[in-house]
């Protein structure tokens, strides 16, 4: 007799992050006062992996002074010792087009990544995934991604078993 196993579906969570005062923060990054924007931390499910989004409004690496870079970082959480490492996540990051007449948004392709357990709290102690050259400044300004001095990201994260 064969046992019938239940369908195990990946845990999926969508996180929305609004960055207000976009132009002021972009200028601060350009002048070197502020390196990046960081979202509030969030957990993937109850007692799950702890993450945060990060955006370099003035770009990071090859995108510096040219565009926006965006990342998801797995950070140290209260439940890390109870979790399985490394964790495999599927990510989909979208910059929302805020035009009332247009529903299209800029979307990074869905990709799967492995994250190791954070060993500390600094960037070098944690893993992140993102797009260094996510979108150029001129595209952000001309395609309704900014409204009321705000930009909005949507990040869909799937925990793969």
> Taking the domains of the chain in order of start, what are their residue ranges?
16-160
Q: Class for domain 16-160, per CATH?
A: mainly beta
CA quadruple 77, 80, 83, 87: dihedral sign: positive
- 5-46 pLDDT, tens digit per residue, is 455 556 889 999 999 999 999 999 999 998 899 999 999 888
- Report CA-CA distances (Å) from 129 to 2, 24, 28, 69: 41, 26, 24, 11
- 41-96 pLDDT, tens digit per residue, is 999 888 899 999 999 999 999 999 999 999 999 999 999 999 999 999 988 888 99
- For 14, residues 6+ apart whose C-beta sits below 8 A from its C-beta are 154, 155, 156, 157
Q: What is the pTM of this model?
A: 0.85
DSSP H or E segment with residue 140 = helix 137-142
């Amino acid at each position: 007799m064969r046992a019938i196993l239940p369908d195990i579906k990946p845990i999926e969570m969508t996180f929305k992050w609004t960055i207000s005062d976009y132009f002021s923060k972009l200028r601060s990054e350009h002048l070197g006062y502020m390196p990046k924007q960081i979202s509030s931390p969030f957990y993937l499910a109850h007692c799950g992996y702890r993450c945060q989004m990060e955006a370099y409004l003035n770009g990071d690496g090859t995108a510096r002074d040219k565009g926006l870079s965006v990342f998801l970082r797995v950070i140290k959480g209260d439940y890390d010792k109870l979790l399985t490492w490394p964790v495999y996540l599927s990510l989909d990051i979208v910059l929302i087009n805020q035009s009332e007449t247009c529903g299209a948004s800029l979307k990074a392709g869905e990709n799967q990544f492995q994250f190791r357990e954070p060993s500390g709290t600094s960037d070098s102690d944690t893993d992140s995934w993102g797009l260094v050259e996510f979108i150029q400044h001129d595209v952000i300004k001309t395609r309704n991604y900014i409204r009321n001095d705000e930009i909005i990201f949507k990040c869909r994260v799937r925990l793969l078993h």
